[in-house]
Amino acid sequence: MFDFLIAEFSTSGVKTYVFIPPLVSFLISFFTSMAGVSGAFLLLPFQMSVLGFTTPSVSSTNLLYNVTGTPGGIYRYMKEGRMTWPVALIIIVGIIPGILLGYYLRVKYLPDPRAFKFFVGIVLMYVSLRLIRDVWTSKGMKA
């Protein structure tokens, strides 16, 4: 009945309703922009687990997400006077080589979806454990 709403992306083989990817991107951006982070780290598990998009090109779509989503946040922080330029410039020095090395490692050593999912899972688990620990200790509880 609603077949006209289904889109198939031939390169990735993903078949989904046309409104799902923009809706998920909106929701991720909405929540992560409050923290000043890119939502690509949440978009990646969605693409791989829900959409089944597991090729190395999933990394390039996340990079595109960062490139298009980040300038709005930067503009807003600059407008509010909350951009700390010395820290930002130091971080930028590490971004360029990090992007190049990360791309190389992804394409060269992690092209297999299973290995990449495992790697991403380890990274996300580490981040979540750190967040839980920080929340736990900030509430006066002992970790």
pTM of the model: 0.60
What are the pLDDT digits (tens) for 32-67? 877 777 778 788 888 888 888 877 778 788 888 888
Give the total number of structural domains in the chain: 1
Domain contains 143? no
Looking at the DSSP bridge assignments, the partners of residue 28 are none
77 within 8 A of 36, measured Cβ to Cβ: yes
What are the pLDDT digits (tens) for 91-129? 889 988 998 898 888 889 988 888 988 998 999 899 999
Domain contains 29? yes
51 within 8 A of 16, measured Cβ to Cβ: yes
HEC string of 70-125 equals HHHHHHHHHHCCCCCHHHHHHHHHHHHHHHHHHHHHHHHHCCCHHHHHHHHHHHHH
Domain contains 75? yes
Domain span including residue 78: 3-138
